[in-house]
Amino acid sequence: MMSEEDEFEGGGILAKALELDSEPRNWYVIHCYAGYENKVRQSIEQRIETMNMVDLIFDVVVPTEEEIEIKEGKRKTVEKRVFPGYILVQMVLTEESWYVVRNTPGVTGFVGMGNDPTPLREEEVAKILNRMEEGAPKVKFDFRIGERVRIRSGPFADFPGTVNEIDGDRAKVRVLVSFFGRETPVELDFAAVEKM
């Protein structure tokens, strides 16, 4: 009967498990068709289960961030892809794991030199993942300084004005409104202003 030591030295199951633990887990970037990132992520996750790759492929991430779009005075929160057409995969790179990911429908290849996928550095991964976890969504608006706008609500509703200052962090805009022959600055929420 073989002892655990004999099995380890002979390359048995225990040796294989210890060998995998010593293999480095790295994050790799894969390229896919833009707009299909979530579908490809789901396909990879499904293949991990069906092809028994849970010990080699650990995480699949589509980098996104929330953005508030304000168009025509309407506020809408949307999830934007940070890197359209790219997905992050945390895995131990072996021929089997490479094959499973590379041959997933929608995947066009790994990012790297030739056929050698290049792992991301830890600080790059941390930066991307932290960007995803930041709480405050970015505000996207469709007007610029100096542009003529109309105030939609409040005491100056339907007054025309000129954008004087934009504070994207607070989602506020300062508009110069002609009031009794004088230009008066009025601070408003982005949603209270629309392009003329």
The answer to whether the CB of 128 falls within 8 A of the CB of 82 is: yes
Domain 143-195 matching CATH 2.30.30.30: the answer reads: yes
| Residue 72: band (very low, low, confident or very high) from pLDDT cuts 50, 70, 90 | low
Q: Which residue bears the tokens 């056929």? A: 115
Q: What is the mean pLDDT of residues 24-35?
A: 92
82 has a pLDDT exceeding 50: yes
Question: DSSP string covering 70-107, please?
Answer: EETTEEEEEEEESSTTEEEEEE---HHHHHHHHTSTTE
CA distance 70 to 68: 7
3 has a pLDDT exceeding 50: no
20 has a pLDDT exceeding 70: no
Domain 4-135 matching CATH 3.90.1150.10: the answer reads: no
pLDDT in tens, 129-155: 887 777 666 777 777 889 998 888 888
Q: Where are the domains of the chain?
A: 4-135, 143-195
Whether this prediction's pTM lies above 0.85 is answered by no
The answer to whether the CB of 172 falls within 8 A of the CB of 187 is: yes
